[in-house]
Structure 1
Amino acid sequence: MKKINEDTGHPNDLPVIFEYDQQGNIIGKISINDWKAKKEEAEKLNEIEIKLYRESIHYYTNKDFDKAEDILLFLINQTDYTHYEYVERLANLYRRQANTSKEKELLLKARRNMGGLAVNEGIIHRIDKRLEKNANATAKGKMSLATD
């Protein structure tokens, strides 16, 4: 019987994954093992994000708005204002506190960061509607102050 020799082979024979930039040019290559490690790390970060978001909702429902705001601001900064669920939850918190200036600032930053992608057209439309409501609420607040 012939013994099967498991040769490790030449390093060039290892499968690789090519990384591409926005224009489709190859910017590098990584091994399968490196890719799996990066994927596991990304999944762990995603799990942490979910746990933090759940914690912020817990604080929000218990009316501990300062802690909820801190967690949501952290999550929003981590995702560069592109995860609309976080932005919307924080905007709701600001609206509950009648802090229209912070709500408007938050929505404008989110709109600016999502503006370049065509995929986000629906979200941009929602942000625009919310900004319009914010402007109307601010105008009503100014009118009521003028009549007092």
Structure 2
Amino acid sequence: MKKIHQEQAHPNDVPVIFSYDATGQIASKLSVNEWKKQKQQAKLLEELEIKLYREAITYYSNNELEKAEDLLLYLIAYTDYTHYEYVERLANIYRKQQRFTKEKELLILTRKNLGSVEFSEGILRRINKRITKLEETPFSGLPIFN
């Protein structure tokens, strides 16, 4: 029987990931180790975002609306208005505090920023419905969850 002799891998021989542009040219290359680091950092940022949102919900449920507002404003700015649940929660805070102009400004700005995002038709309908209710309804100070 022959022994299978396996060569030692050279430390610089690391697999590489190529990314291509629309024309088929190599746009960039990334080692697997760098890709793993980036993936891990993205996961940590996502976990931080989830923790901050949970903290904001806790503040909201404890009626510490100023703290919840600060966290939600940070999350909305960080995600560039793409997570509607943050916007809706902040709009509910503004509704509770009877800051109707702030609520309307937030919804209009969100609608403007979501116009370029794919698959946002349903969210845009919800925003438009909420703005319509805001303009029509006498304000009772109760949150809108529709």
Across the two proteins, how many residue pairs are aligned to each other? 136
Amino acid corresponding to residue 117 of structure 1 in structure 2: V
Amino acid corresponding to residue 96 of structure 1 in structure 2: K
Candidates 4, 7, 13, aligned match of 2:6 = 4
Task: Map residues 1-148 of structure 1 onto 2, 5 A cutoff.
Answer: 3-8=5-10, 11=13, 14-19=14-19, 23=22, 26-137=26-137, 140=138
Structure 2 residue ranges without an equivalent (≥5): 140-146
Structure 1 residues 104 and 29: CA distance shift in structure 2, 3 A: same
Distance in 2, Cα, partners of 1:20 & 1:71? 38
In structure 2, the residue corresponding to 1:98 is in which secondary structure?
coil
> 1:17 Cα shift?
2.2
Amino acid corresponding to residue 72 of structure 1 in structure 2: L
Distance in 2, Cα, partners of 1:111 & 1:81? 9
Structure 1 residues 66 and 34: CA distance shift in structure 2, 3 A: same
> 1:20 Cα shift?
5.0
Question: Identity across aligned pairs (percent)?
Answer: 51
Which structure has the higher relative contact order (CA within 8 Å, separation 6+)? 2
With normalisation by structure 1, the TM-score equals: 0.82
Deviations 1:76-117 (A, max 9, x none): 000011111100100111111111110111111111111012
Question: Higher helix fraction: Structure 1 or Structure 2?
Answer: 1
Moved over 6 A (4+): none
Deviations 1:45-88 (A, max 9, x none): 01011111011111101111000000000000000111111001
With normalisation by structure 2, the TM-score equals: 0.83
> 1:6 Cα shift?
1.1
Amino acid corresponding to residue 86 of structure 2 in structure 1: Y
Amino acid corresponding to residue 84 of structure 1 in structure 2: Y
